[in-house]
Amino acid sequence: MTAGLSSVRHSRTPPMTLSPEQARAHADEVRETSVTVLKGLIPAETIDAWNEAFGPLLAAAVRREGDNPNRGAHRYYVTLPLQDLWADPAIIDNDAVMAVVEELVGADGVMCQLASDTPLAGSEHQELHRDTQLLFPESGAETPPYQLAVNFPLVDVTDENGPMEYAPGTHMLSKTEGMAKVESGEIPLVKAYMARGDVMVRDVRHIHRGTPNRTGTPRPMVVIGYSRRWLHRPEVNVRIPAEVLVALPERARRWLRHNPVFETKAEAARPAETYRAFAY
């Protein structure tokens, strides 16, 4: 049974806040390495509630996609509906996360994605890739951050259940140069081990890949996508029920302002994303 908002408001752990200096330091780490991690940000009981609610969504995706999963063998991209438990402001409008995000893409940015990536037993190494292309491919020039992924796992991420591997610093290199440095060993791949409650903010241009889940338990990784206000990728969006939108804090409503709004939760919950081309 899917838990509602009330089930995640009983946390005894106060929300983490960051000073401006701390937020800037985390943002600078993303600028330098492509990744920063806010450890223990979300209470474990909240994560466990999300994991329980996620099971039926994953099962439906497996039935729907069958032998043609959208991220490689036995690996599923599943959109999360922005309602009930999934619309918890403590997650989608978290003060600490937003402080870092705003440092990187501006206070007038947009939230454009609420989804998950889950390898199951039988999954394989993905090809090394980036999640977006250059803003101006003909220039060959990288720019300051314009698209971010905020990731947090619904189970502890270990060596056995499919940690992401990424190459630090490759977000500011051309893909050709970054791949050459990875292949030569000059920039080693780093496994992103995370505990339940840890939150990663990353620049999606870095070279990375999913690895095999060798256990019998799914390894869901939630992704909340944030972009600068002018960036639109039509293959992703957040479908918002009107009643959920009006109940959200003002900042969350502002960050969601470019997404479609629907009269009913049922209409908003229909899968509609076409985000199949993900590797660049």
* 224-248 per-position pLDDT tens digit: 999 999 998 888 999 999 999 999 9
Report the DSSP pairing between strands 240-241 and 261-262. Answer: parallel
> Which helix (H) or strand (E) covers residue 147, if one does?
strand 147-153
What is the chain's mean pLDDT, rounded?
90
Q: Please give the Cα distance from 119 to 226 (Å, whole number).
A: 23
DSSP code string of 179-242: HHHHHHTSS--EE----TT-EEEEETTS-EE---B-SSS---EEEEEEE-TT---TT----EEH
The residue that leads in pLDDT, 277 or 82, is 82
CATH code, domain with 198: 2.60.120.620
Give the type of residue at 23.
Answer: A
12, pLDDT greater than 70:
no
Identify the burial level of 16 via C-beta atoms within 10 angstroms of its C-beta, where 0-12 means exposed, 13-18 middle and 19 or more buried.
middle
| 21 is a domain residue | no
* Within a domain: 3: no
Whether 124 is covered by a domain: the verdict is yes
Token pair in block for residue 55? 């099971």
pLDDT tier at 279, thresholds 50, 70, 90: low
Structural domain boundaries, residue 64: 35-269
25 lies in some domain: no
Instruction: Answer for the pair 101, 228: CB distance below 8 angstroms, yes or no.
Output: no
At residue 100, does pLDDT exceed 60? yes
185 falls within a domain? yes
User: What total number of domains does the chain contain?
Assistant: 1
- Kindly state whether residue 14 falls inside one of the protein's structural domains: no
Rounded percentage of the chain residues whose pLDDT exceeds 70: 91
Residues 15-35: tens digit of each pLDDT: 588 999 999 999 999 999 999
| Domain annotation covers residue 5 | no
